[in-house]
Amino acid sequence: MATGGRRLQFGVLQFFSNSGRKVPLPTVYSRALDRIDVMERSGVYEAVWLAEHHFTTYSVSPSVSMMGALVAARTERLRIGTAVSLAAMYHPLRLAEEIALLDVVSGGRVNWGAGRGNDPGEFKVFGLDLDRSYALFRENVDIVLRAWRDERLTYHGDFHTFEGIEVLPKPLQQPHPPVWLAASSPDAIAWAASAGYSILMDPHSSHTDIGTKYAAYLKGLTAAGHPAGDRVIPMARLIAVAPTDEEARRIAVRGAEWTVASMSDPSRRRYSKGIRPAAPDQAERDRRSRVERYVDDVIIHGGPDRVAEQIRSLRADIGLHYLLCAPLSHSSFMLLTEEVIPKLV
């Protein structure tokens, strides 16, 4: 798939993992902020994208707006993305206020990414109906955008009604910050394309699946009469870089095991309907199969030259033009920054 000569951009999907509680939480945050300082100084990243999760050590970052304010205070150039604001779990006017405030105090550097969320446990704890969350998410996004654009908001929806509310502050970027919606399922991608929204693409699909989904998204945009040519679509990819291919594969295996364990945590599925736990031997076979899939089909891994070549291939094969990097170790991040990206820009 041709990229039309577009400049390849890079961002970082920043998690705040405390898997196994191996270090104190302040250390988790300080290390992440130190990494963000490197992003700012390097000048090679367009944005840091902050992940939001609740009630899990997978990523202890329940407020991307608060974390974003910390980033804004210590950077001047780096844009601040949310990946994502879990829009179905907020009152939409509160969300509009917080992201607009972040845009103002950062000097207009917000990239707003919004998502529904997919953890049944989060919905249960917050007292939300998972089955109605798609409709709630879409309405909340619509309200946030109207609250930013309209001097006073009047809205009559299925979940919310407002009359003449002045939502302040308005974002510094006008009419509002650039917006992306997280979309991984075919239905979500089709809806986003039909409505003309840009999308964030997930780090868990295979490279082949990402390409297929992206092609379907572009086709849906065109069919609905929305422009597609210059649209920026970040594609999140897990990345392991090391001095040798063998060492990078070991990092990839550890990262895949961590990811699969986090996604398979029973607490994340506790409230799912109709799920029966597999027998222990079958569960172990399934785990190994998922780890192998991540290493072979999902994670970009290798020495700096091999990783650069894989990124070039994704650019040529699926139209990658914005790589949203999720490094699986600090050494991977540093090698990516110092040795891989300079080969590609």
**Domain assignment of residue 282, yes or no:** yes
**Domain assignment of residue 305, yes or no:** yes
Q: Which of the pair, 6 or 94, is modelled with greater confidence?
A: 94
Cα–Cα distance for residue pair 109/72, rounded to 1 Å:
8
- Using a pLDDT cut of 70, give the percent of the chain over it: 92
pLDDT(277) > 80: no
**Domain assignment of residue 185, yes or no:** yes
pLDDT(269) > 60: no
Q: What is the mean pLDDT of residues 95-107?
A: 98
Report pLDDT digits (tens) over 157-186: 999 999 999 999 999 999 999 999 999 999
**Domain assignment of residue 248, yes or no:** yes
**Domain assignment of residue 1, yes or no:** no
Report pLDDT digits (tens) over 40-63: 999 999 999 999 999 988 899 999
Q: How confident is the model at residue 3 (pLDDT cuts 50, 70, 90)?
A: low
Q: How confident is the model at residue 286 (pLDDT cuts 50, 70, 90)?
A: confident
Numbers of helices and strands, H then E, in the chain: 12, 12
State the residue range of the domain holding 92: 9-343
pLDDT(30) > 50: yes
Average confidence score pLDDT of the chain: 93
Give the pLDDT score at 272: 40
Residues 6+ apart with CB under 8 A from 63: 52
Report pLDDT digits (tens) over 124-169: 999 999 999 999 999 999 999 999 999 999 999 999 999 999 999 9
Q: What is the mean pLDDT of residues 308-327?
A: 98
Give the pLDDT score at 123: 93
Q: Which two tokens stand for residue 248?
A: 């990078």
3-state helix, strand, coil split of the chain in percent (to 5) is 50, 15, 35
SS3 of residue 226 by DSSP: coil
127: left (phi over 0), alpha (psi -120 to 50) or beta: left
Q: What angle do CA 340, 254, 271 make, to 5 degrees?
A: 115
DSSP 112: E
Give the pLDDT score at 285: 65
CB 44 within 8 A of CB 337: yes
**Domain assignment of residue 2, yes or no:** no
CA-wise closest residue to 315 among 183, 204, 207: 207
**Domain assignment of residue 3, yes or no:** no
pLDDT(296) > 80: yes
Give the pLDDT score at 273: 42
**Domain assignment of residue 291, yes or no:** yes
Q: How confident is the model at residue 264 (pLDDT cuts 50, 70, 90)?
A: low
Overall domain count for the chain: 1
The CATH number of whichever domain residue 83 belongs to comes to: 3.20.20.30
